[in-house]
Amino acid sequence: MQADLSPFDALVLMSFGGPEQEEDVLPFLQNVTAGRGIPDERLKEVGEHYYQFGGRSPINEQNRSLLEALSRELETRGITTPLLWGNRNWKPFLADAVRSEHQRSGARKFLAIDTSAYSSYSSCRQYREDFAAAQTQLLTEGIHVDFEKIRQYYNHPGFAQAQLSCVREALEQYRAATGSLDPDDYRVLYVTHSIPSTMQENSERHTNGYRAQHEELIDWLSTELEPAYGRVESELVYCSRSGSPHTPWLEPDINDRMKELSEKGVGGVVVVPIGFVSDHMEVKYDLDTEAAQTAKDLQMDFVRAATVGIHPEFVAGLIDLAVERAEQVRQAAEEIKKPVVTGTSLSSGSGACSRNCCEGSRLVPTQPNWPAPSR
């Protein structure tokens, strides 16, 4: 692959965002839930998770670290494309970051690296809607920009190998703490963010689906672990369920499953946050606080694996994905047909999402000319 990112003028790290201090918590949650009619009193209750950590989400600091690691990787490869950072729900907002870069360098074509590896409305399509909203906002200011994004990377070698390293380290921590890795006495619980069942069904219409993507990676990890660890009993569980209790979400919840395992005589768990790339609030509260307390109450051994964070293979993989997408865009511009590889483990895809991929409860445009805006 050509070691540059043309025709893109800039890279943008795109993430969820999080509050930095207590006074940020309520307006941050208002941004997250905009349009849903949730009263502020309920949001303040939800905000207690953040207040327990001084009102500061760890996600922004983790994104700063990732930004630095990506910058070093670009420098190592001799790629001089500017790298910036924009969020969905808190400062620095995407539109503000893009406007600033456009004013500084004239950049118009942006390639986004998002911090979610899997396909679903909230983890993929909603970011594309964010790009469209930023484009529309900037168009009103006379600034015309375009966005592309890297593909979902649950099956990219950089992400997979980094996950494998995290699991191996956690298994060794468990062995050191308990003196054993008897497969009958512990379970590996791979944890991801639960989503509504309808969102899971929508993700299956144009991809192999949110749940299946996690399971594909888990199967690969199990195969890789077997030579050193033998049979590793593992399963996929969920955390961070929210919303109406009458709306079905993906299950089982990690805490419920730990109780069931304890009743069956399982003595401990190795918890792997496979659905999260860094130790943000769902990891620090839902796993390190709630699930760890559940384990303590059940007298179960508990080890939580690291997230991929700024693991070198993960960081290098993200830049590989950016280079991959740039090459595909160049080839499309030259009308060169390239076979698309899909559905195989740890292989590349086309990089492009279909227009209706991972729909939400309503269809929102993911590009500003759909329908064409008045200018």
Do 14 and 113 meet the contact criterion of CB atoms below 8 Å apart?
yes
Query: Is 229 annotated as contributing to ligand binding?
Result: no
Q: Could you tell me if 298 and 259 are in contact, meaning their C-beta atoms sit under 8 angstroms apart?
A: yes
The DSSP secondary structure of 23-50, one letter per residue, reads: HHHHHHHHHHTTTS---HHHHHHHTHHH
Neighbouring-strand partners of residue 114: 14
Q: DSSP characters for 162-176?
A: HHHHHHHHHHHHHHH
Letter string b/e over residues 123-158, b meaning 16 or more CB atoms within 10 A of that residue's CB: bbbbbbbbbbbbbebbbeeebebebbbbbbbbbbbb
Give the DSSP H/E element, type plus range, for residue 236.
strand 234-239
Q: Is 233 annotated in some ligand binding site?
A: no
* 193 labeled part of a ligand binding site: yes
Residue 35 and residue 129 in contact, taking contact as beta carbons nearer than 8 Å: no
User: What is the torsion angle, in degrees rounded to the nearest 10, for the CA atoms of residue 227, residue 230, residue 235 and residue 239?
Assistant: -80
Task: Render 73-125 in DSSP notation, one character per residue.
Answer: HHHHHT----EEEEESSSSSBHHHHHHHHHHHH---EEEEEES--S-SIIIII
Is 203 known to sit in a ligand binding site? no
The binding site consists of 57, 127, 193, 282
Binding residues for Fe(2+): 193, 282
Specify binding-site residues for Fe-coproporphyrin III.
57, 127
